[in-house]
Amino acid sequence: MQTEWVDTFGNPVVYIFGVSSDEGKSDARAGYGIDWGPVESKKIGAVAFGEKTELRALLTAIWVAIKEASECKIPSIVIRHRSRKLDEALKRDRGSLENSKDDDEDLFAAIQKIINILPVSIEKTNAIRMFDVAAQRARRTIGQHSTACNPYTNHQFEEGYRIVDIHGACNDGSPNARAGYGVYWGEGDPRNENGTVNGMQSSYRAYLGTAMKGGGATKIFSPFQKRIFEVFYRALETQYF
């Protein structure tokens, strides 16, 4: 039976995501994420091999996913991505690059070597929501989220828990101090929010106010924990703000 995690032939479907930061610069970073679906232990996030580019991150993800399938004796897999850049690179005539310098040729060669042994289908899809976990792992690897904790377990998810990334910042001590906040629920989520802090401009207010915004509509806190947090926040607000 075909599902989002199994194709019509019964092959497991893997979702990958690649991301880079400051690509082309000396301090560039690139990471990838792999989501095998129900198999919690195979939700992977790590830095890309070699050059820190988005394409390199995606190629690394493909290589790691195929290698994992081979080691686990999985006869065939389907790898899905949503990158136009990767789609174009995979369709490129590799033979024309034999005498040219291509920074990604080593990974292309490694991938091809394994594909010759293990049947693999690499597909581009626009099912954006299926990439949420892979994207989360990739972004956290290169520090694009304010936290680096592992995603919740399936049990916590079923209980209604959600991971929400928050961040607050302020140039404390400056005569013209400005404080801002950000709340991130996930890619494309309408609850994602950022803005300036009202009232006293301080890091305390930025972070604590942001935590209240992130925690107010989710089961990050139990009702008792949320009440304690509110009392704590009001006390700090009275003392420091």
Cβ-based neighbours of 82, under 8 Å, separated by 6 or more:
17, 124, 125, 126, 127, 128, 131
User: Is pLDDT larger for residue 108 or for residue 230?
Assistant: 108
Query: What's CA 4's distance to the chain center, in Å?
Result: 19
- The per-residue DSSP string of 36-97 comes to -TT-GGG-EEEEPSSS--HHHHHHHHHHHHHHHHHHTT-S-EEEEE--HHHHHHHHS-GGGG
Which of 57-61, 82-86, 142-146, 181-185 has the least mean pLDDT? Answer: 142-146
Instruction: Report the pLDDT averaged over residues 50-64.
Output: 90
pLDDT (average), residues 25-46? 83
Secondary structure letter of residue 101 according to DSSP? -
Q: What is the pLDDT of residues 204-216, one digit of tens each?
A: 788 777 766 655 4
If one counts every other C-beta atom within 10 angstroms of the C-beta of residue 86, the result is 21
Q: List Cβ neighbours of 90 (8 Å cut-off, separation of 6 or more).
A: 122
Whole-number pLDDT of residue 160: 63
Report how far residue 200's alpha carbon sits from residue 186's, in angstroms, rounded to the nearest whole number.
29
Confidence class of residue 198 from pLDDT cuts 50, 70 and 90? Answer: confident
**Mean predicted confidence (pLDDT) in 164-183:** 85
**pLDDT top residue among 241 and 64:** 64
User: Which is more confident, 63 or 229?
Assistant: 63
Q: What is the dihedral of CA 35, 36, 39, 43, to 10 degrees?
A: -30
- Does the pLDDT value for residue 61 go beyond 60? yes
Q: What pLDDT, in 10s, does the model give residues 142-159?
A: 767 544 444 444 455 556
What pLDDT does 89 receive? Answer: 84
More confident residue, 238 or 44: 44
Residues 32-51: what's their mean pLDDT?
Answer: 83
Whole-number mean pLDDT of the chain?
A: 75
CATH number for domain 154-240, candidates 3.30.420.10, 1.10.760.10, 3.40.50.2000, 3.40.1180.10: 3.30.420.10
pLDDT of residue 34: 94
Please give the torsion angle defined by the CA atoms of residues 31, 35, 41 and 44, in that order, rounded to the nearest 10 degrees: 0
- For residue 124, the model assigns a pLDDT of 93
Do 13-141 and 154-240 have matching folds?
A: yes
Return the CATH number of the domain spanning residue range 13-141.
Answer: 3.30.420.10
Q: Is 82's pLDDT higher than 90?
A: yes
Average pLDDT over every residue of 52-62: 91
Domain parsing of the chain, residue ranges: 13-141, 154-240
Q: Which pLDDT score, from 0 to 100, does residue 96 have?
A: 39
Q: What percent of the chain has pLDDT over 90?
A: 15
